[in-house]
Structure formats: C-alpha cells, structure tokens
Amino acid sequence: MSVLTNKRVLFVGNPNHQVDSLISELEARGVEVSKHECSTISTDLVSDDKIDLIILNHEHADDVCSGAQTLLTNKEVAPIPLFAVVRDNPDDIQKVLSEGATDYIIPTESVDSIIQKIEAVFDEGDIFSGSASIDISPLKADVSATGIRVYVVEDDPLLRNLLSIRLDKSSFPFEFSKDGNDIVPILKQFKPDVIILDLMLPGKSGFDVLAELKSDEYTKDVPVIVFSNRDGAGDRTRAKELGASSFYVKAMTDLSELVETIETIAKK
C-alpha cells in the first residue's frame, strides 16, 4: 500500500496544468483531494475535513491568497505541512518559506519530483521532511572519524533538532547558526572540519554565505555541504561554482548518508 493511500490533500487557489496533473496522480495513488478558492478557506474547514497536507498555488498570489497562507500556517493549522506553488525566483521562494511553508513547488518541476517530496512528508523512513519520523540510531563510524567538528547553518528548528541528535550520536562536536550572520568570526573560534549550509535563510541567501566563506582566507578551504530544499540545476551549478563540496536535497536525503559524506569529506 502506498504511503499516500487514504491521505487527504487540500488544494487552494487557481488550478493550472501542472496542478491538474499532480491532482490526477495523487488520486491515482489513493489520495482524496479537495479544492477550494483562497477566499473560502478557514481553519474550521481544514480541521473538519481532517486534512493531512495543503497545496497552495502562490505563483500569482494576490492579497487574498497571501492571506490564505498566513491563515493556513498559524498555530492552529501549523502541524499540517503546506506546499506552496511559486515562481522560480529566489525572492518568492524565500518569502513563502519564511512565512511558514514546509516546501515549495516551481512551475517547471515534474510531477514525479513533487510526489517524491510529498511522500517524504508521510514516509516513516530516514529521509528528512517536516513531519517525518527519523531513524536516529547511531552509525558505526570509524573511530578515526569521531571528533569531526561540524558547523551547521540552518533555520528550521525541527531539522536542527534531528541533526543535533544524529551528530551527537555520531560523536561529532557541532554548533548551529540560524542565519549565517557574522559567520567568519564564529568559525575562527569553533574551527570546523565541515560546514553544512542551507540555501534559504532568514534575511539572506545561503549563496551569499557560501561566497563569504570561500572568499575569506581562514575559511576558504573548509568543505561546505549544501543541504537545502532548492534542487534546481541552476542552484547546483551556482553552488559548485562558489566552491561547495557536495549538494543534497533535504526531502530526498537519508541523514545517515549525510553523516557518511561528512566523514568522507573530513578524511580528505
């Protein structure tokens, strides 16, 4: 049985070809999909219909649909993951994520890719997602790998918690930053062996943080692993050009794989 079988998904906003194709695929996998305009949404509707996931078309959002996202990400509804359909524009993506969206969908994204992201939300494996249950059993790492110092730039509190447990059980000393501000002076004190960097941060781009790290004489040689929900070819190319050692997409990455990459990179 598919992890999506009998799930209830609420689509909010104007439909388009991509959304119609996605809805058809979800229904084929046993998902019950309901559709509403932004103006008709209420927290009672979400609660009464026992919604498991919300998809909001934010691509051409007006004030009504922007208000709908605010409503759907408030404290009463926040435990329900929300995917926002947005233009492939860093500012638009940053905006919906900072306003509480769990993940985003760009217009050129394939239905298969979107389904993978949605499955990750409900999957009970070790793939990261906003509501996934993560296997945090310790890895049997080489003794020589323990003690690797890891600095993580990540604003999501759930992921920070999950990573802290995984890194602690792997015997890696670590520290966190929520925004990457004043990162170089901090790193000079912490002396990391590896940096994990999200690209979507409050107030600034992870690309700016990466560029800052690679332009500073002290931090330029510290390996950086990009760990983000941005997965476009352009993002990967830019990260590589700026000097990132690896690039992982959160919704498709096993945390044990990330730890293994940390070990491999630190040993080089």
Does the structure show a pLDDT above 70 at 122? yes
Task: Give the pLDDT band (50/70/90) at residue 143.
Answer: very low
103 exposed, middle or buried (CB, 10 Å; 0-12, 13-18, 19+)?
buried
Task: Give the pLDDT band (50/70/90) at residue 22.
Answer: very high
Give the tokens for residue 168.
């602690």
The parent domain of residue 59 ranges over 8-122
Does the structure show a pLDDT above 70 at 201? yes
pTM: 0.55
Which pairing describes strands 53-57 and 32-36: parallel, antiparallel, or unpaired? unpaired
Mean pLDDT rounded to a whole number for the chain: 81
Of the residues 89, 122, 155, the one at which a domain ends: 122
CATH of the domain at 97: 3.40.50.2300
Domain presence at residue 253: yes
Per the CB < 8 A criterion, the answer to whether 153 and 198 are in contact is: yes
Does the structure show a pLDDT above 90 at 254? no
Q: Indicate if 45 and 76 belong to the same structural domain.
A: yes
Task: Give the pLDDT band (50/70/90) at residue 138.
Answer: very low
pLDDT (average), residues 66-90: 75
pLDDT of residue 243: 95
Our count of domains for the chain comes to 2
pLDDT (average), residues 207-229: 93
Task: Give the pLDDT band (50/70/90) at residue 107.
Answer: confident
Which pairing describes strands 194-197 and 8-12: parallel, antiparallel, or unpaired? unpaired
C-alpha angle 217-148-126 in degrees, rounded to nearest 5: 115
Domain presence at residue 135: no
Give the CA count within 13 Å in the CB-facing half-sphere of 134.
24
